[in-house]
Amino acid sequence: MSMPRTGGVWDQIVGSWKQVKGEVRKQWGKLTDDDLEQIRGQRDILVGKIQQRYGIAKEEANRQIDDWANRLKF
């Protein structure tokens, strides 16, 4: 399995979580405010919440997150 290639971007996401969580909500509208508070920029929790809310596999959740993170503008 390949590792996600968003390490540098993810560091920025963690550091800017309060601003970024609105973008997360736009991308994955089924996530609740409570979900976003629990996630707090932690990728592994985001993966799990996306899997849970959308009923998708971990690999698909990771792919969606990679695609989304690579489109963010900092």
Give 10-51 pLDDT, tens digit per residue: 999 999 999 999 999 999 999 999 999 999 999 999 999 999
Three-class DSSP category at 6 = coil
Cα distance between residue 71 and residue 67, in whole Å: 7
Where are the chain's structural domains?
A: 8-71
Q: Are 50 and 61 in contact (CB under 8 A)?
A: yes
Q: Look at residue 3 and tell me whether its pLDDT is greater than 50.
A: no
Q: Look at residue 68 and tell me whether its pLDDT is greater than 70.
A: yes
Architecture of the structural domain at 8-71 = Orthogonal Bundle (1.10)
Q: Are 15 and 30 in contact (CB under 8 A)?
A: no
The rounded Cα 74 to chain-centroid distance in angstroms is: 16
Instruction: Write down the pTM of the prediction.
Output: 0.87
